Structure 1
Amino acid sequence: MTLAASGFLTIDSVQLEYRLIGPQPSAAPCIVLLHEGLGSVGLWGDFPDRLQAATGTSVFAYSRAGYGASSPVILPRPLDYMQREAREVLPKLLDLIGFRRGLLVGHSDGASIAAIYAGSHADRRLDGVVLIAPHVIVEDVSVASIAAIKTAYETTELRAKLARWHKDVDNAFHGWNGAWLDPAFRAWDITADLAYIRVPVAVIQGADDQYGTVRQVEIIQEECYCPVEVTMLPQTGHSPHRESSQATLRVIAEFAAATLPLAQSQT
């Protein structure tokens, strides 16, 4: 199929909002962006455009169900919602857009989904994954920060700010926040998938990430048999692509140039 610059894809009767920058995924190496737990197509800002300019690739971003302008989800979300996205939705999406080769670049929840996909699919089209502020286990600091943001959502202007980016902001927020704060979610652990990743991995981690410690990175290094490159960004929190955007772009562009021979870095 030929994709417009923006629109909706239908997968299993669910409408998924998307945006495409650059060539069709069927005609050029493609970087697929997987957003954070409260993210959406719109919340990437101009990062996809800058990434396309820096790499010369196709860049495809989509809002998962429950986010942005995509269809809402039934709450509460199942606690394995990231595994389901990686194993049930993402394979169909890549096929539908005509993905032929490229990278997965995920942030936070999106990074976890990218890691699960790479570890559970022997996808010859996939040349590498970039994990920005990934989660592979649940840490005390993660739960504390997510509990704090629940209070902020209920008592500050945070809900109104997020409503700019989500058609059903309560569906988006409670779907994510409710899962992470469920006591049973403390057992969530995707380390078993890491050993099965067979493509290069680049990890970008903020030194001051309020949602996870360097232990997340150490586990990836310990469990992966594939090449793992780690970039720790000083004075950077949980969103390196916003807080240290030029450094983040440089890392991804260099990684793309090394793993995608047809992509040319311009940073």
Structure 2
Amino acid sequence: MSAEFATINWRGRPVRIECQWIAPERTDAPLIVFLHEGLGSIAMWKDFPAQVCNAANARGLVFSRPGYGRSTPRADDEIWDVDFMHRQAHEVLPALFTALKLDDEKPWLFGHSDGGSISLLYASRFPDRVSGLVVLAPHIFVEDVTVANIEQARTAYLSTDLPAKLGRYHDSADSAFWGWNRIWLHPPFREWNIEAELDTIRCPVLAIQGIDDEYGTLAQIHGIATRVRGCELLEIPECGHSPHRDRPDRVIVAATSFIAKNRRQTP
């Protein structure tokens, strides 16, 4: 499947967003939108979104956020602030949906890590525009273990071949890595917390996390369940920060069953 591009106006300039459709011919099927992690892109999902859509008999939209993949890289002077995930949820995602003529859709959002947090923030701000969420290893507050491992990632980027590896998936590895790394290690970001914002979410939510997640503890998804009525949790043993890579079959079964069940219950 080849990628296409949509253009939005963001931060005062046109930004090209790399997009890829899965099974667009399924016109009457639900739409699942996949939101990648802090160093992710369309290419880094590999064939997992297609597997989910085939199992769920759904259409899919995968895209690379600004600064990632083949989307417009960050400007040299563009430094992300503490609200960077809010801006993705409140500005970029609505603009992308408008550009793709999806304003009349109520998609399911499938988000991993930062993409999971962005999905939660979108559902909080626009509770009537989303059918449901599947979030993998989302962050709702900052933990010491997260910061410690992101510090290790910084060391690896400066001292190993990590830039070359990321360069396979991004037009600018520096754009992707430093945008993510600098804000997560920015001291004021330690106070970032979206727990209170979860109270306005009205759609079904499935929150999945690996028990061996190196970037967060189970307190993240337990915090979501405390705030979101009816939230379902799945804790997966022998699984790290990327359940869709570590235990793909378990995630696909859980996600597709969750979507099918909630579609039947929705008038």
TM class by shorter chain equals: over 0.9
Point out where structure 2 has 5 or more consecutive residues left out of the alignment: none
Judge conservation of contact 2:29–2:57 (CA < 8 Å) in 1: no
Q: Secondary structure at the match of 1:260?
A: helix
**Selected match of 2:6 from 6, 9, 33:** 9
2:170 equivalent in structure 1: 166
Normalised to the residue count of structure 1, the TM-score between the two structures is 0.92
Shift of 1:96: 2.9
Point out where structure 1 has 5 or more consecutive residues left out of the alignment: 263-267
Does residue 1:185 correspond to 2:189, yes or no?
Answer: yes
Aligned residues: 257
1:265 equivalent in structure 2: none
Following superposition of structure 1 onto structure 2, how do residues 244-255 of structure 1 map, counting pairs within 5 Å? Answer: 244-255=247-258
Does residue 1:34 correspond to 2:35, yes or no?
Answer: yes
Distance in 2 between residues matched to 1:138 and 1:261, nearest whole Å: 36
Following superposition of structure 1 onto structure 2, how do residues 1-267 of structure 1 map, counting pairs within 5 Å? Answer: 6-12=3-9, 13-23=14-24, 27-74=28-75, 75-99=78-102, 100-124=105-129, 126-224=130-228, 226-261=229-264
Change (3 A) 1:123 1:73: farther
**Counterpart AA for 1:18:** C
Q: Secondary structure at the match of 1:246?
A: helix
**Counterpart AA for 2:141:** I
Shift of 1:261: 4.2
Shift of 1:24: 5.7
Distance in 2 between residues matched to 1:233 and 1:98, nearest whole Å: 37
Shift of 1:234: 0.3
**Counterpart AA for 1:207:** I
Q: Secondary structure at the match of 1:241?
A: helix
Superposed CA RMSD: 1.6
Distance in 1 between residues matched to 2:223 and 2:26, nearest whole Å: 32
**Counterpart AA for 2:116:** A
Distance in 2 between residues matched to 1:150 and 1:129, nearest whole Å: 31
Relative to structure 2, which stretch is displaced further, 16-25 or 65-74?
16-25
**Counterpart AA for 1:39:** G
Distance in 2 between residues matched to 1:123 and 1:159, nearest whole Å: 40
Q: Secondary structure at the match of 2:188?
A: helix
Judge conservation of contact 2:112–2:137 (CA < 8 Å) in 1: yes
Shift of 1:255: 1.2
**Counterpart AA for 2:119:** A
